[in-house]
Amino acid sequence: MAVAAAIACRLLRLHAAGAGGHWRRLRGAGLPRGFLQPASAGEDAAQWRRVAHFTFQPDPEPLEYGQTQKMNLFQAVTSALDNSLAKDPTAVIFGEDVAFGGVFRCTVGLRDKYGKDRVFNTPLCEQGIVGFGIGIAVTGATAIAEIQFADYIFPAFDQIVNEAAKYRYRSGDLFNCGSLTIRAPWGCVGHGAVYHSQSPEAFFAHCPGIKVVVPRSPFQAKGLLLSCIEDKNPCIFFEPKILYRAAVEQVPVEPYNIPLSQAEVIQEGSDVTLVAWGTQVHVIREVASMAQEKLGVSCEVIDLRTIIPWDVDTVCKSVIKTGRLLVSHEAPLTGGFASEISSTVQDVIANSSFNHAVQG
């Protein structure tokens, strides 16, 4: 049963992978045939490559934003982009392969709907994509840049850190590129290996002047992406690629905003605070129920949502209540964002003036 399900999963992913160039290269020649062969009994199940072990947990249908529609994460992104281009005539979307719909289908239909001067391909050059986006934003128009994989954002690092992040500050607020948003698929996907799985949020966390946001679900993605696009600071929006298809829930059709720099306590608890973002939120939700079931431990689960500027108050308030903190992320441990969270929380909690504020 489990084996059949695993095969089915893989089949679904292969079908999904058909459209994009990168995915074809990943698959390699001949692999599809192997996957189509039926597996034998139980003991071979262990030999099969495992996909990431988590279950996407949808949130209940939101009722306060009007009519909803079943959407997966990439469809929620498309919806947000559609809403943005509809209400902001200056908004443009650009990057590698966005014209035909994008390697993850996030921009399907937008070029036909809004025109080729608003949804267009750029040459294969991340530093150019971001630099170009900064220029558009400097004139006041809304620039939505796509980097094909977060793993490829590094050629644009100088533009992001030395230019975009510092534009307003260094000019004394004469100029800014606040209407720039950079989107990139992020995080592990099972078979992405070294260069299609990275989570580089920690590199950018060290850079004042930009905002970095990671959604856990389609509903969160659309609201957070719309907030990033409308935010008056350059934003990087990392989209967990493994959730593009795997995460499905009811998402409002009309635009709505989820505030940035606000963490969400998605489950209250009293014994330990668990913090995560993106895909890992679903893992720690599972951990929370396992802990309750097997250890009788009550976990408070927090989705950080915005990496910088992050919601120090919500996390600290929770840790003061529970007395324990666990942060979990995909990215490498050393210098990962968990170190910023744990050191700040320890610093803040040791500082008596915060305690007064919280208790009062």
Partner 1 sequence: MAVVTAAARVLGSSRGLGQDGLLLLRRLGVRGLAISHPQRQQQHFSSLDDKPQFPGASAEFIDKLEFIQPNVISGIPIYRVMDRQGQIINPSEDPNLPQEKVLKFYKSMTLLNTMDRILYESQRQGRISFYMTNYGEEGTHVGSAAALDNTDLVFGQYREAGVLMYRDYPLELFMAQCYGNVSDLGKGRQMPVHYGCKERHFVTISSPLATQIPQGEDALPGPAVGAAYAAKRANANRVVICYFGEGAASEGDAHAGFNFAATLECPIIFFCRNNGYAISTPTSEQYRGDGIAARGPGYGIMSIRVDGNDVFAVYNATKEARRRAVAENQPFLIEAMTYRIGHHSTSDDSSAYRSVDEVNYWDKQDHPISRLRHYLQSRGWWDDEQEKDWRKQSRKKVMEAFEQAERKPKPNFSLLFSDVYQEMPAQLRKQQESLARHLQTYGEHYPLDHFEK
Span of 208-216, 221-229, 236-244, 322-330 interacting with partner 1 by CB under 8 A: 208-216
Q: Which residues pair with 185 in a beta bridge?
A: 239
Span of 187-195, 207-215, 297-305, 329-337 interacting with partner 1 by CB under 8 A: 207-215
Look up residue 252 and give its amino acid.
Answer: P
210 vs 226: CA distance, rounded Å: 16
207 vs 308: CA distance, rounded Å: 9
Nearer to partner 1, 109 or 208 (CB): 208
Candidates 22, 96, 163, 196; catalytic one: 196
Asked whether 96 and 14 are in contact (CB, 8 A), the reply is no
Tokens matching residue 281: 């939120």
- Does residue 82 bind partner 1 (CB under 8 A)? no
Span of 39-47, 162-170, 188-196, 330-338 interacting with partner 1 by CB under 8 A: 162-170
Is 196 in the active site? Answer: yes
How far CA 71 is from CA of 177, 226, 238, 247, in Å, comes to 31, 16, 18, 8
292 contacts: CB under 8 Å, gap ≥ 6: 298, 299
State which of residues 2, 12, 125, 295 lies at the interface with partner 1 (CB under 8 A).
125
- Does residue 131 bind partner 1 (CB under 8 A)? yes
Look up residue 206 and give its amino acid.
Answer: H
Tokens matching residue 103: 């390697």
- Does residue 173 bind partner 1 (CB under 8 A)? yes
In degrees and rounded to multiples of 5, residue 209 shows phi and psi of: 115, -20
- Does residue 352 bind partner 1 (CB under 8 A)? no
Nearest distance from C-beta of residue 47 to partner 1, angstroms: 25
3-state secondary structure of 68: strand
Binding marks (x or -) toward partner 1, 217..236, rule CB under 8 A?
---------------xx---
- Does residue 171 bind partner 1 (CB under 8 A)? yes
Nearest distance from C-beta of residue 165 to partner 1, angstroms: 8
- Does residue 176 bind partner 1 (CB under 8 A)? yes
Tokens matching residue 216: 């856990």
Asked whether 222 and 187 are in contact (CB, 8 A), the reply is no
3-state secondary structure of 316: helix
- Does residue 135 bind partner 1 (CB under 8 A)? yes
State which of residues 83, 84, 159, 197 lies at the interface with partner 1 (CB under 8 A).
159
Binding marks (x or -) toward partner 1, 18..57, rule CB under 8 A?
x-----x----x--x-------------------------
Is 191 in the active site? Answer: no
Look up residue 24 and give its amino acid.
Answer: R
- Does residue 62 bind partner 1 (CB under 8 A)? no
156: which DSSP letter?
Answer: G
The H-or-E segment that residue 273 falls in is strand 272-276
Which positions are annotated as active-site residues?
126, 196
Residues that bind partner 1 in the complex, under the rule CB under 8 A:
18, 24, 29, 32, 90, 92, 117, 120, 122-123, 125, 127-128, 130-141, 143, 155, 158-159, 162-163, 166-178, 208-209, 211, 232-233, 261, 309, 312-313
